[in-house]
A and B are shown apart, each in its own frame.
Chain A
Amino acid sequence: MKINIPDDMREILDEFLIEADEILEQLDQDLVELEENPNDKELLNKIFRGMHTLKGGAGFLNLTSIVEIAHKIEDIFNKLRNDELQLNSEMMDVILEGIDKLKEGLERLKEEDEIPDEDEVKEIVKKLEAILEGKNPNEVSSNNQNEQSKESNSQDFEEFEFVEGVDEDIKELIKKFGAKDLAELLEDIILLAPDERPPLEVVEKLEKLIEEGKDIKDLIRPKKKEEKQEEKKEEPQQASQQQPQKQEETKPAKTTQPVKKEEQKKVEKKKKSDKKEDVIRVDVERVEVLMNLVGELVLDRNRIVKLASSLTVEQNKKDESTLEELIEAINGMSRTVSDLQDAVMKLRMQPVKKIFSKFPRIVRDLAKKLNKKVQLILEGEDTEIDRSILDKLEDPLIHLVRNAIDHGIEPPEERVKMGKPEVGTIKLGAYQEGDRIIIYIEDDGRGIDPEKIKQKAIEKGLITPEQAANMSDKEAFELIFLPGFSTAEQVSDVSGRGVGMDVVAATIHALRGNIEIESQPGKGTKIIMKLPLTVAIIRTLMVAVNDRIFAIPLFSVVEIVRYKPENVKKVGHFKSLMLRDEVYLLFTLNELFEIEDKKEKEFVVIVKVGEKNIAIAVEELFGEEEIVIKPLGELLEDVKGIAGATITGDGKVVLIVDPNSLISDKKTQLAGVI
């Protein structure tokens, strides 16, 4: 249904949409939490208030179908908080479905100025009503619900009657599972345990009906009866709230409505202002521009500081005091620029909560689908990270959490047999460590068997049996990140086929992060990602080979030593460097980049690549520099070994090395050598 928003209402609509988004985002998390503590009064109140606000706003804007859903959910929570209803998992499914409809509706409103028609929401509203009436809307028969379902069966029966000629078995089915879409009914039946499932011929009959294009509406007709009952039952307070609602739906009573609305709003605003800080919304692009400008400023600052340090008092005896003053001024400016850089950087920071909050719902739905019992623990939700990194993290995290539920957490029976708690635990957390953000996903599932991994890698031709024999467990786990590797014995529809762990690893590397796996068979798996706080400015080490300058990000540099030919040995195809008691695999930057190699190497930079430290020999070393990363343009997006480029103070372009992708080109040959 197209809605018409007059210009003067636009702002109110926009504000409503933002508020609604906030409420719904929080709601997903609250609801899952509620499922664990169904009697948490505070939580129930909070959800009730949220829905109430949403309903109020939608009512003011005359968004009837949104109001209808929100209103029903609000009523349910009112009953829940007054102990008139007891929450169960099936009810939660319906409520979540309702929330999804709300989200969908608001999304459409945002994009197309359209809200769902009454028809589209009829089904969900019916289901929600059923809950209000104390019925179980989805009627999935499980042992402890048998009593309830018997009751509601008879009620259901009162509500509708069958049209003539409906098969007896099908009637039974509908009575048992409630009147719903036949395809949905079929799905429910298939999901049942085999001993609870109706006989095969009944399923076939149902399938036949669906094939014929029959809908539930073709089989039953409603018996209008106790419709009114429910409304009478409602408390007076509830009824009064409902009153203005009705008015709005029939005619837009604009004269009286806004006043009332204002009052309601005020109360809510007060409640909110306790928690909420003052916020202005700024276009991301503007922050981006600001960030770039500050980046340039930082480069200029670095250049000025360098120049100033080369000015000596001896050269400028006459202007000694001026020089001192100048240097003092430069130092002052330098500090301010640093502070400015920090401040602008903070503008782009957002708490990981923004994506973490989606996970309770994801975990809940997946666990249910896979018949596993999982609790999710979120840690360090307030940890902040650069927004552009955060946005790219969502897909990898979803993939990893899915993996953990699908492959990690065992089915409940298996867990009990192994002496583990029936409910598996997945921890998703974040914390800051220096200038890095650590994000981890930990499960207490079956863990990863390194021997299995090696076996698989040999089968796939990724490594040779000899390489496998020399491999540590940690190195074996790293094999998982190789393209073309997937340990799942069969591809389930949950972990999917498209994105593999190699894509996850590539995404993290592209953000200049690391990813590691720790796992103990039988005990669980922990996946740790280390990410930079920000993407725009990094500290690098400037090196050169063959007169070409490269910048190596400092966070991957472990150590710098002088190149001594006597410490270099040739082992098979590769060279190795002996340093103290350690042996490192050694490459020249020339060979890694396929650059002509004719000069003596002077220095060796030891970089950390995944689990290993690798030595890279270079010809010249210029020291540290802070740089702004710029992209190379779309044509050069996929270049291996280059993370981007920067422009130095004198206008030259210097390429930034990405050690991870540089070495990973050689990784398959390398597996097992180091």
Chain B
Amino acid sequence: MAENENKDMQVLGIKTVEEEIVNEERVITFRLNNELVGIDINDITKITKDVEITPVPKTKEYILGVMNLRGNILPVVSLKKMFHLEDKEEDYESPVVIVVETDLGQIGTTVDKIEGAVKISPDDIQPPPMNAIGIDPEYIKGVVMLPDDLLILLDIKKIFKKEDKNG
């Protein structure tokens, strides 16, 4: 289907449109408190609710524990705790878990509420404004101005990387 469309457009001489389609990125957006945050859909393995998290003693505060994903055990991390954002107990009562693929294997991350998927073009990504958001710019790819909100794009590969297990 898509190919046919492209062909049609080529016939019509609209090459530039095709390129924009190719470059488009799909991002899953969610809330961390009031911030609108997004993760590239290519980094996401699964989004799940109602998982049971088994706490693991004597670990870093932001590691909530481990969960069972189809017979594999993965760590679950609170993004809020990791970014030193304000959090409440209720946040973890029945959290939404986004499972991301990282250099450290699959990791579950808890977020407040899924907002949905948006398509963005890489050209729209701007460098993060200084101090405007509560998240360390180190972990951020950039921000995108949406019609009614500012979307913060997380850099999952940087958040969970090999040499720095401390996060």
**Cross-chain contact A630 with B52 (CB below 8 angstroms):** no
Restricting to B34-68, which residues have a CB under 8 Å from any CB of A?
A: 52, 54-59, 63, 65-68
**Cross-chain contact B75 with A632 (CB below 8 angstroms):** yes
Residues of B within 8 Å of A, CB-based: how many?
25
Smallest beta-carbon distance B95→chain A, Å = 16
**Cross-chain contact B54 with A655 (CB below 8 angstroms):** yes
Which of A205-213, A634-642, A666-674 touches B?
A: A634-642
A653 at the interface (CB under 8 A from B): yes
**Cross-chain contact B55 with A653 (CB below 8 angstroms):** no
A572 at the interface (CB under 8 A from B): no
A483 at the interface (CB under 8 A from B): no
3 A-B pairs with least C-beta separation: A593-B57, A653-B54, A634-B104
Smallest beta-carbon distance B166→chain A, Å = 10
Given A634-B105, A647-B68 in contact, is the A639-B56 Cβ separation under 8 Å?
yes
- Beyond A593-B57, A636-B75, 15 additional contacts (C-beta under 8 Å) are A548-B54, A548-B55, A632-B56, A632-B73, A634-B104, A635-B77, A635-B104, A636-B56, A639-B56, A639-B58, A642-B58, A653-B68, A655-B56, A655-B57, A655-B66
B29 at the interface (CB under 8 A from A): no
Smallest beta-carbon distance A588→chain B, Å = 13
Restricting to A590-610, which residues have a CB under 8 Å from any CB of B?
A: 593-595
Interface flags for A638-669 (1: CB within 8 Å of B; 0: not) read 11111001010001111100000000000000
Task: List residues of chain B with CB within 8 A of the CB of A296.
Answer: 71
Q: How far is the CA of A72 from the CA of B7 in the complex (A)?
A: 69
Q: Which residue numbers of B lie inside 8 Å of A, CB to CB? A: 52, 54-59, 63, 65-68, 71-75, 77, 104-107, 160, 162, 165
**Cross-chain contact B107 with A635 (CB below 8 angstroms):** yes
Q: Which residue numbers of A lie inside 8 Å of B, CB to CB? A: 296, 548, 593-595, 630-642, 645, 647, 651-655
**Cross-chain contact A639 with B54 (CB below 8 angstroms):** no
**Cross-chain contact A647 with B59 (CB below 8 angstroms):** no
Task: List residues of chain B with CB within 8 A of the CB of A595.
Answer: 57
Residue of B nearest to A636 (CB): B75
**Cross-chain contact A594 with B75 (CB below 8 angstroms):** no
Smallest beta-carbon distance A292→chain B, Å = 8
Q: How far is the CA of A630 from the CA of B68 in the complex (A)?
A: 11
Task: List residues of chain A with CB within 8 A of the CB of B54.
Answer: 548, 645, 652-655
Task: List residues of chain A with CB within 8 A of the CB of B73.
Answer: 630-633, 645, 647, 653
Task: List residues of chain B with CB within 8 A of the CB of A548.
Answer: 54-55
Q: How far is the CA of A594 from the CA of B107 in the complex (A)?
A: 24
Q: How far is the CA of A642 from the CA of B65 in the complex (A)?
A: 12
Task: List residues of chain B with CB within 8 A of the CB of A630.
Answer: 72-73
Smallest beta-carbon distance B6→chain A, Å = 40
Residue of B nearest to A635 (CB): B75
Task: List residues of chain A with CB within 8 A of the CB of B55.
Answer: 548
Task: List residues of chain A with CB within 8 A of the CB of B162.
Answer: 634
